[in-house]
A and B are shown apart, each in its own frame.
Chain A
Amino acid sequence: MRVLSKLMLAAAMLAGTVAGANAQDKTPVKLGAIEILTGPNSRYGIAIQRGFDLALADINKAGGVLGGRPLALAYEDSAGAKEQALNAARKLIGRDRVPLILGPTLSNEMFAAGPVANERKVPIVGTSTTANGITAIGPYVFRTAMPEADVIPVTLKTAQSKFGIKRVAVMYGNDDAFTKSAYDVMKATLEKLGIQVLTTETFGSKDTDFSAQLTKIKGLNPDAIVLSALVEAASGIALQARQLGIDPKVFIIGGNGLNSPKLGEIAGASADGTIVGSPWFIGKKDPANQAFVTAFREKYGDSPDQFAAQAYDTLFIVAKAIDAAGAPDSEKIKDALIKVKHTGVMGPFSFSESRDPADTSGVVVLTMKGGKFQLLE
């Protein structure tokens, strides 16, 4: 009897330790993140870091990944310099041996760091890199940021279906790669939607006088002005359009450059009616988004922006991929990422074949009222 009970006890203890070894592997799964944490563009990197940190806390509170292992992030500062981003990628892969890298912040930095990660077969996931050609770097380069080319068609389609626009004037800044590439998308989309372009006017990104172009546009009586510009020029155009007496009903349809609170601050009521598309909006009413905004404000005493929201979703997407992969292994995570489906604060998300965001149903169209953007109802 005693022998038997001792045996049973031993067996139970043995089973206990074995089970414990499985359930209690608490070694953190450490991922790398390269962001701009210092310097003039640090506000982007810090917003992203806050989004990651908030998601990290939520994920770990819910039990981490791989059945109880906490997720951890090793941050490297790129300071906005592509050389530094490149070195950070080398360090994270070589010394920290992370299975996956998040970031970098800027497209230019990704063009430097991406090829290194790709060569070493470590997946790298950009949350804010919207330039053309990012994911063409290689099969290990992903991005969760929605390129402008996906947002503009949604904006124009909405303008057509909601306001029945048929004839538009187009204006774009022709000395800036960002505004020019958005214009190319606008042009192609307008053609596809069968909206007539009455005239295409250009300006320089540093111009302050747009009266000649706007006078010409006024004479053509368009339904709307489709505008690809940085926010400074866009504000000047909105102000001068109203000064010249262009009917406020002739509203501006903007590219991503206009999606900035500065537009309302500078142009005031002249910008009212302007519509833009955005991958995310702070005032989206779904509960997930509301919870995110509240939690962010509580933790940081500041409102989240689009960069924070994209980062927040991205860490959940990556955590799901790690769980699906079953191990913190670069190759397995890469294969799992492409299959992940996640509905977060940005809306439904999945990767396309080319490792870009596949779903544009999360795009919201905003309209300006009283100098502030709100959801277009």
Chain B
Amino acid sequence: MLEQQLVNGVVLGATYALFALGFTLMFGVMGVINLTYGVYFAVGAFAALWSTQALGLPIAAALPLGALIAGVIAVAIDTLLLTRLRKAKAPELASLMVTLGATLFLYAGMAASLGTEIRRFPAAVFDGGAYDLGAVRIGTTQILIFGAAVALVVALMALVRGSRLGLAIRAVAENPDAAALMGINGGLMLRVVSFLSGAIGGAAGVLVGLNFNAIQPFMGEHMMLRGFAVIIVGGLGDLRGALAAGLLLGFAEVLTAAYVSSTFKDLTAFALLVATLWFRPLGLFGRAAAKRA
């Protein structure tokens, strides 16, 4: 039973990490706590659901399409809401309030147009299947979620650390004015990052929707609290940290439910958050005053 619980922990942790990656990217580069992130999670899932149902696409095509749509919407919302605030160099609290308002608006809009009842991908779309390894059972979607989380971390690290685009993004994150003087199109870089984070959020929504069969407008809202815990424990803007913290949180929750009591499951997540803020306020891999992306 312990082996199965460890697998459960890895899957749940990978789910959290996957969700948190786009969130932490957005925060690390743009320095904005954008609360609309939870909406992209649901947008991706609904877009993929729609494309499998209305267009009859297979899931292999619906997943990138869901990510693409979520990414485009993320760029649109970011441009609409935050361009003026950036120009005015408004404090972080202003962006927090603006995106909070937008989130409530978007959730209400989605609930009104899509309904609040939960949906799932048609069973025919994806033959989940599961593998039995001794006493352990692993589903295909679960392997997919874990694989996607690891692959995304590697790909994003390579992009940010090892490419010219990544260099430009980091330069904008470091000092937008100096970057502009060096000929970097700051607005474009922000849009690229918005798109990436929205697309990651959307893809996470599709995979989580596939695994847990619970697609509804508020599915991201529940994840946002965990997302906050993950990016704070992992360090704001730290991609490796998000993966590590996601897994840590997943293990902590599952093992608490398995060996202590399921009543304390949620408590563990937030105890971990508070403990991190006490002992390592910059997160697991945190270093003082260094810009990371």
Contacts and interface: CB of A to CB of B under 8 A. Distances in A.
Interface of A: 174, 201-204, 206-209, 211-213, 215-216, 218-219, 232, 235-236, 239-240, 243-245, 262, 266-268
A243 B139 contact: yes
10 contacts: A174-B263, A202-B263, A204-B266, A211-B8, A212-B8, A212-B9, A212-B265, A215-B8, A232-B117, A245-B130
A243 B140 CA distance: 11
Contacts of B132: 245
Q: Top 8 nearest A-B pairs by Cβ distance?
A: A212-B257, A208-B212, A211-B8, A212-B254, A219-B1, A201-B262, A208-B214, A206-B222
Contacts of B222: 206-208
B253 interface: yes
B212 A209 contact: yes
Contacts of B255: 212
Given A201-B262, A202-B262, A216 B1 contact: yes
B5 A243 contact: no
Interface of B: 1, 4-5, 8-9, 11-12, 15, 117-120, 123, 128, 130, 132, 137, 139, 208, 212-214, 216, 218-219, 222, 253-255, 257-258, 261-263, 265-266
B212 A236 contact: yes
Contacts of B257: 201, 212-213, 216
Main secondary structure of the interface of B (DSSP, over half): helix
A202 B119 CA distance: 23
Nearest to B221: A206
B48 to A, nearest CB: 16
B263 A266 contact: no
A137 B77 CA distance: 51
Given A209-B12, A211-B254, A243-B139, A266 B213 contact: yes
Contact of A203 (B11, B117, B208, B262): B262
B137 to A, nearest CB: 5
A86 to B, nearest CB: 27
B212 A212 contact: no
A266 B122 CA distance: 9
Nearest to A243: B139
Nearest to A175: B266
B192 to A, nearest CB: 31
A216 B258 contact: yes
Given A204-B266, A236-B212, A262-B117, A268 B123 contact: yes
Given A212-B262, A268-B123, A244 B213 contact: no
Q: Which of B4, B9, B262 is most buried by chain A, counting CB atoms within 10 A of its CB?
A: B262
Contacts of B5: 212, 215-216
Given A208-B214, A245-B130, A215 B258 contact: yes
A204 B269 CA distance: 14
Contacts of A218: 1, 4
Contacts of A213: 257, 262
Contacts of B218: 206
Contact of B137 (A209, A245, A267): A245
A277 B219 CA distance: 30
A236 B120 CA distance: 10
A274 to B, nearest CB: 16
